[in-house]
């Protein structure tokens, strides 16, 4: 059995749509190289890296990340979301924002 090695990392996902260039930043506090599945050679690159270094991999559509499955997309009426937020005393949704 392999030993777990934990690391933290800031990851940037950059892509281009028809409208703009996009960058999504995500901080991961506990990456486990034995347990977590990372795209391409990223796991190996990070494991061999020194603290503070940078690793980069190219991911092509359909390569490491499967194509979007339209049947897995669900639409929810805005009023249902607004009422759920209001019941928790949270601010409402704002136009133009992305909510994962």
pLDDT, tens digit, 9 for 90 and up, residues 3-13: 567 788 888 88
CB atoms under 10 Å from CB of 59, counted, come to 13
Q: How confident is the model at residue 1 (pLDDT cuts 50, 70, 90)?
A: very low
Q: Is the full-model pTM beyond 0.85?
A: no
Q: What is the pLDDT of residues 37-64, one digit of tens each?
A: 888 888 888 888 888 888 888 877 667 6
Contacts of 11 (CB under 8 A, 6+ apart): 25, 26, 27, 28
Per-residue exposure over 81-92, b if at least 16 CB sit within 10 Å of its own CB, e if not: eeeeeeeeeeee
């Amino acid at each position: 059995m392999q030993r777990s090695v934990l690391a933290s990392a800031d990851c940037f996902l950059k892509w281009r749509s028809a409208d703009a260039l996009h960058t999504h930043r995500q901080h991961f506090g506990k990456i486990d190289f034995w347990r977590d599945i990372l795209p391409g050679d990223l796991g190996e690159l990070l494991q061999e890296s020194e603290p503070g270094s940078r690793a980069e991999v190219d991911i092509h559509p359909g390569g490491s990340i499967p194509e979007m499955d339209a049947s897995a997309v669900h639409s929810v009426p805005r009023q249902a979301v607004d009422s759920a937020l209001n019941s928790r005393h949270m601010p409402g949704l704002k136009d133009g924002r992305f909510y994962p």
